[in-house]
Structure 1
Amino acid sequence: MTQAPTPTADTVRRLVRSLLGEGAASDVRPAATGAEPATWWVGTRHVLRLATDRETALRQRRELRLRELVRPYVSVTVPTSVAHGEWAPGLTYTLDGKVPGGSAEEHHVSALGEADLAALLTGLREVPVRQAETLGVPRAAPRSLEALRQSAEAAGRRLAEADEFDPARPERLTREASAQLGVQPGSPAVLVHHALADEHLVVGADGRVRGVLGWTDAVLGDPAEDIAALALRVGSPAAVRAATLAGYGARPCLRGLWLARCDTLVHLAGTLAGRPSAPASVSLPLLRTRLRRAWEPILLERVTELREDGTGEDGPA
């Protein structure tokens, strides 16, 4: 099997020179640390992303088409490709216009920013599922809350022993609750960004959400996954307020809350034990911050009684 070529600074300069001219090629730099970065800043206005294997290339081609499908449905900026093609046989690139702003770690999301998040969730739900499937967006089955609950309970005990988590917290995901909060039969799948917890929310200094990057991991599935990701980024109260504004009822809001809480326990415990399950880019301090955000109490979980007829899955909470 032929090994894929490795992108280098010279590779990037030659490609940028062919796309934007000699001047642009003099100002390229890696967007992240690492010996073989696949994402590069090009001046102050562009970002170049290189696929380094065939699977990534396939997802990047799909992403370009998906962004065009999503764009009319969301009010925030979706990146635009200035140029795209292959930088090596079978390996793609896209040169995107940079979306101005910082990350949700750098800028606090304001009340108007929460409305932007609500509009984003609303727009994702309105994207036609059939058209997304035609583009090759895969379906993803909802995760088992019961399996996640068991893993989180064990992780919580280990974190309590390490003085990283208070096991006496009143918010607990019981076996009964995991059954109640699960996706109800007949609930429609929606387009899920599936990576909003990473560096993909672009936030302005005024707290407004300016754009959403990184659409390669999008799936058709459970909208609670995006609610969970927002809880890790902006805290549980803000995430649930945004989801409620988007028209989601108590069940998906609380399911997203518990996905986030269980994930943070499992990821932090695994990292402390030397078996990290979170992405390598997520540092130990950030895992602790995400744990705190996910476990912020919200009023909804204290006042909601879920019925078995499915009420609360899509209607207002």
Structure 2
Amino acid sequence: MTQAPTPTADTVRRLVSSLLKDGAKGGAGTAGPEVRPVAEGGGHSTWWVGTRHVLRLAPDRAAALSQRRELRLRDLVRPHLPLAVPTSVAHGEWAPGLTYTLDTKVPGGTAEEHDVSAVGEADLAGLLTGLREVPARQAETLGVPRTAPRSLEALRRAAGRAAERLAAADEFDPVRLHQLTPQAAVQLAAQPATAVLVHHDLRGEHLVVSADGRVRGILDWTDAAVGDPAEDIAGLAIAVGSPAAVRAATLAGYAARPCLRGLWLARCDTVVRLAECLDRRDAGPLPLLRSQLRHAWEAILLERVTELRDEDEDADAEL
């Protein structure tokens, strides 16, 4: 297999100069546009280009396939969402079989930099509502995969083992997991015929938040899937805190079951991820993972999952 080239600042500058046609647009005059790598890049090599653009380079063919799909998906979801979705001003190949997209920058910071306000929670509700309105079949024709719901019971057991490791490191009290009983995990299983388009990666860095707490845009749609809507509720719980996530989901019309399912997916996930990080003795992401665990374990009013019953689910949804 041919080794993919490693993009450098010169590689990026030459590519962007040919795309923008005017070095001044990139902010560096005749020397070409100013380019600098973005710290959070996910599966792509990502670069700031001046003050108005972001260049994302697919590092391998699998990422290139995802990026091509993402460009089509963004056009599909844009009319359904009240939030900005990045627009590609140019796209193509930066190396044989490896794609790029030059996107306009969505103004604002991230949910890791700014707290989401009450009005911002309404923005998130609009996101969840809009995703539910996107025709799932049409998304699948673009190549968006359909994913099966995860087993909350299996995740509960994995989190229980991880919690014991965290307890030994004085990071977490495993008693807190006892709220999610085996019976509750069964009650909170995903219901049939509830699959919708989900972003599936609603991390703090992918939520564009303004200084006043409004959510202005959603970035990086490469992991989107047709699947369990509780996964996006879980992502929001980790990114902005469980109370805000559950309030946003409730505003979007979700009842108690998917809200609680998302809550416990987030809680179990954060326990497992932090334990895995400690096992690897990798101190790099520890502050972020600890922050995510705190967000997911923030208390909400709707905590007594064992009392959830099918016949009065709507009544239990008073948060």
TM-score by shorter chain over 0.5: yes
What TM-score comes out, normalization by structure 1 length? 0.92
Alignment correspondent of 1:18: 18
Where is the helix percentage greater, Structure 1 or Structure 2?
2
More off after superposition, 252-261 vs 190-199: 190-199
Native 8 Å contact 1:267 1:287 kept in 2 = yes
Secondary structure at 1:168 match in 2: helix
Q: What residue number does 2:211 align with?
A: 205
Counterpart residue number, 2:77: 70
**TM-score, normalised relative to structure 2:** 0.91
The answer to whether the 8 Å contact 2:52/2:104 transfers is yes
Structure 1 position 8, deviation (Å): 1.4
Count of aligned positions: 309
Q: Is the 8 A contact 1:247 1:316 kept in 2?
A: no
Alignment match, 1:238: 244
What residue number does 2:52 align with?
Answer: 45
Q: Which residue of 2 aligns with 1:2?
A: 2
Aligned equivalents of 2:69, 2:281: Cα separation in 1 = 32
Q: How many Å apart are 1:117 and its aligned residue?
A: 0.3
Corresponding residue for residue 298 of structure 1: 300
Look up the match of 2:142.
135
CA RMSD of aligned residues (A): 2.2
- Which whole-Å deviations, capped at 9, do the CAs of 1:72-103 have from their partners, x for residues lacking one? 11101000001111111111110000000001
Q: Name the stretch that deviates more: 289-298 or 21-30.
A: 21-30
Give the SS at the match of 1:39.
strand
Distance 1:168 1:206 in 2: 37
Distance 2:141 2:6 in 1: 32
Structure 2: runs of 5 or more not aligned: 27-31
1:105-129 deviation digits (Å, cap 9, x = unpaired): 1101000000000000000011000
Distance 1:252 1:13, change over 3 A: same
Deviations 1:262-290 (A, max 9, x none): 011101111111177xxx9x710111111
Spell out the pairing of 1:49-198 with structure 2 (5 A cutoff).
Answer: 49-169=56-176, 172-184=179-191, 186-198=192-204
What 5-or-longer segments of structure 1 have no aligned partner?
Answer: none
Corresponding position of 2:265 = 259
- By how many angstroms is 1:187 displaced? 2.6
Q: What's 2:29 paired with? A: none
Please identify runs of 4+ aligned residues in structure 1 that moved more than 6 A.
Answer: none
* CA 1:275–1:311: 2 relative to 1, 3 Å: farther
User: In structure 2, what residue type is equivalent to 1:117?
Assistant: L
Deviations 1:247-272 (A, max 9, x none): 00111000000000001110111111
CA distance in 1, matches of 2:33, 2:131: 39
- Paired-residue identity, %: 73
